[in-house]
């Protein structure tokens, strides 16, 4: 808080008085206060903490060649000349909580932060399409390269049952530094291999860096007995 140091300042008197304290009773602190209080009478409800009295007092102290800080930001103990207790229980508590927060942040960044972002969402419209040979699901693939260098993405269905193929991405997709794109992604299952709705895992690999992201997808389709 903003406070006056009575240990240094009292008794008030002229600068030439050897028995007086550092306060020369110039009342500059009162004159500059926007609420008109005398901070030398202690902390008051009207004080808004603007520190105008600190600046005014320091200016006077420099002129009379005395140490600054007669009015200053300090604790009650500091203003009364008592020993300051910096390492209090709540300081240790704040330090422990801050340390736990840093551990949580570091763990999250290590395991979850990736140099690129990938998102796969189902396209609007029919959940699946069928023709004489295939069952198809249409998705929208969004890629974001967070690196300051070009990246090439490749795609594969991890441990997918036989008969599933990817379409729409080509062999790979290249993105410039800090670039992003959105592409259609089609997963096809031929009728001969189709056994009904299936859980799939799309593996997205980025090079350089050998980074991978996996996306869980649900391949939808009609009742297998209705199409055979």
Kindly list the structural domains of the chain, giving each domain's residue range(s) and its CATH number in brackets, ordered by start: 2-79 (no CATH), 116-226 (2.60.40.2310)
Strands 180-190 and 164-167: antiparallel
Confidence of residue 3 (pLDDT cuts 50, 70, 90): very high
Encode pLDDT of 184-214 as tens digits.
999 999 988 898 899 999 999 998 878 888 9
Measure the CA–CA gap between 58 and 157, rounded to whole angstroms: 72
What are the angstrom distances between the C-alpha of 61 and each of 2, 4, 11, 18, 128?
17, 13, 16, 16, 82
3-state secondary structure (DSSP) of residue 97: helix
The rounded mean pLDDT for the chain is 90
Mean predicted confidence (pLDDT) in 10-29: 92
Pick from 141, 219, 211, 222: nearest CA to 180: 141
Q: What was the pLDDT predicted at 114? A: 78
pLDDT band at residue 52 under the 50/70/90 scheme: very high
Residue 73: band (very low, low, confident or very high) from pLDDT cuts 50, 70, 90: very high
* Largest pairwise CA distance in the chain: 111
Per-residue pLDDT at 103 exceeds 90: yes
Over residues 8-25, the mean pLDDT reads: 91
Judged by phi (left if over 0) then psi (alpha if -120 to 50, else beta), residue 93 lies in alpha
> What is the distance, to the nearest Å, from the Cα of residue 82 to the centroid of all Cα atoms in its chain?
39
- Three-class DSSP category at 108: helix
pLDDT of 227: 62
Q: Which residues touch 110 (CB under 8 Å, ≥6 apart)? A: none
Tens digit of each residue's pLDDT (9 = 90 or more) over 130-178: 988 999 999 999 999 988 999 999 999 998 888 999 988 777 899 999 9
Cα angle value 48/49/52 (rounded, 5°): 105
**Residue 31, φ and ψ in degrees, nearest 5:** -65, -35
What is the structure's pLDDT at 88?
A: 80
Bridge pairing between strands 180-190 and 116-122: unpaired
pLDDT at 36: 93
Question: What whole-number distance in Å separates Cα of residue 222 and Cα of residue 197?
Answer: 8
Residues 6+ apart with CB under 8 A from 126: none
Q: Please check the confidence at residue 228 and state whether its pLDDT lies above 60.
A: no
Alpha carbon distance 46, 190 (integer Å): 80
Q: What pTM, to 2 d.p., does this model score?
A: 0.53
Which tokens in the block code for residue 160? 């997918």
């Amino acid at each position: 808080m903003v406070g006056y140091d009575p240990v240094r300042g009292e008794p008030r008197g002229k600068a030439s008085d050897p028995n007086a304290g550092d306060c020369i009773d110039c009342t500059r602190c009162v004159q500059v206060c926007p609420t008109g209080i005398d901070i030398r009478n202690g902390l008051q409800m009207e004080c808004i903490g603007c520190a105008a009295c600190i600046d005014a007092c320091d200016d006077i102290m420099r002129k009379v060649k005395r140490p600054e800080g007669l009015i200053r930001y300090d604790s009650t103990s500091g203003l009364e000349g008592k020993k300051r207790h910096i390492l209090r229980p709540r300081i240790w508590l704040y330090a422990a909580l801050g340390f736990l927060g840093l551990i949580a942040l570091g763990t999250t960044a290590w395991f979850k932060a990736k140099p690129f972002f990938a998102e796969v969402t189902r396209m609007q419209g029919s959940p699946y399409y069928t023709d004489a040979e295939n069952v198809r699901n249409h998705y929208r693939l969004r890629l974001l390269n967070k690196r300051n260098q070009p990246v090439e993405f490749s795609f594969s269905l991890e441990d997918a049952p036989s008969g599933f193929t990817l379409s729409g991405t080509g062999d790979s997709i290249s993105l410039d530094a800090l670039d992003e794109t959105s592409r259609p992604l089609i997963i096809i299952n031929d009728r001969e291999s189709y056994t009904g709705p299936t859980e799939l895992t799309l593996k997205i690999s980025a090079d350089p860096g050998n980074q991978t992201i996996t996306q869980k997808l649900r391949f939808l389709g009609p009742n297998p007995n209705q199409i055979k």
